[in-house]
């Protein structure tokens, strides 16, 4: 699988917007076949989850990944992967601060970038 995945595809109704960014593949070459099947099931949800998280970052000054997942109602998903993709695409950036997660561990705090705001605006969100 190529590392250049289409994060936004017209086929899922996002106003024909397409952007290719470099993101982490959904599976590794040595993964079990169940991982490949799960990756296929995640593809349709991935874009929706990513956009919901980005909207959460837009509506708040700064958030941890966990906070963004709660606001987006995605706490039972692999939200940390989507946050990593938003960071890699430069739609959010780290603020240099950390806050405690519900686990007691420190989590980095991020905020939306002008590119993230522009992406949401271009999609009418």
Q: Cα dihedral angle (87, 91, 94, 98), rounded to 10 degrees?
A: -90
Which range is least confidently modeled, 19-23, 55-59, 79-83, 104-108? Answer: 19-23
Residue 112 has pLDDT above 60, yes or no: yes
**In the chain, where the domains are located:** 4-122
Which range is least confidently modeled, 10-14, 61-65, 82-86, 106-110? Answer: 10-14
CA distance linking residue 8 with residue 75, whole number of Å: 22
Fold of 4-122: Arc Repressor Mutant, subunit A (1.10.10)
Higher-pLDDT residue of 76 and 99 is: 99
What tens digit of pLDDT does each residue of 20-59 get? 444 555 555 676 667 656 555 555 567 888 999 999 999 9
| Predicted local confidence at residue 24, as pLDDT | 54
| Predicted local confidence at residue 3, as pLDDT | 37
Q: What is the DSSP string of 76-91?
A: TS-HHHHHHHHHHTTS
Cα–Cα nearest to 91, from 100, 99, 82, 80: 82
For the chain, the residue count is: 125
């Amino acid at each position: 699988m190529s590392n250049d995945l289409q994060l936004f595809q017209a086929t899922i109704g996002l106003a024909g917007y397409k952007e290719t960014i470099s993101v982490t593949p959904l599976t590794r070459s040595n993964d079990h076949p169940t991982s490949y099947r799960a990756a296929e099931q995640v593809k349709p949800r991935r874009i929706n989850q990513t956009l919901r998280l980005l909207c959460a970052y837009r509506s708040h000054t700064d958030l941890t990944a966990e906070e963004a997942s709660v606001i987006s109602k995605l706490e039972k998903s692999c939200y940390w992967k989507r946050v990593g993709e938003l960071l890699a695409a430069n739609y959010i950036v780290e603020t240099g601060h950390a806050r405690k997660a519900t686990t007691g561990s420190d989590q980095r705090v991020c905020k939306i970038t002008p590119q993230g705001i522009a992406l949401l605006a271009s999609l009418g969100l």
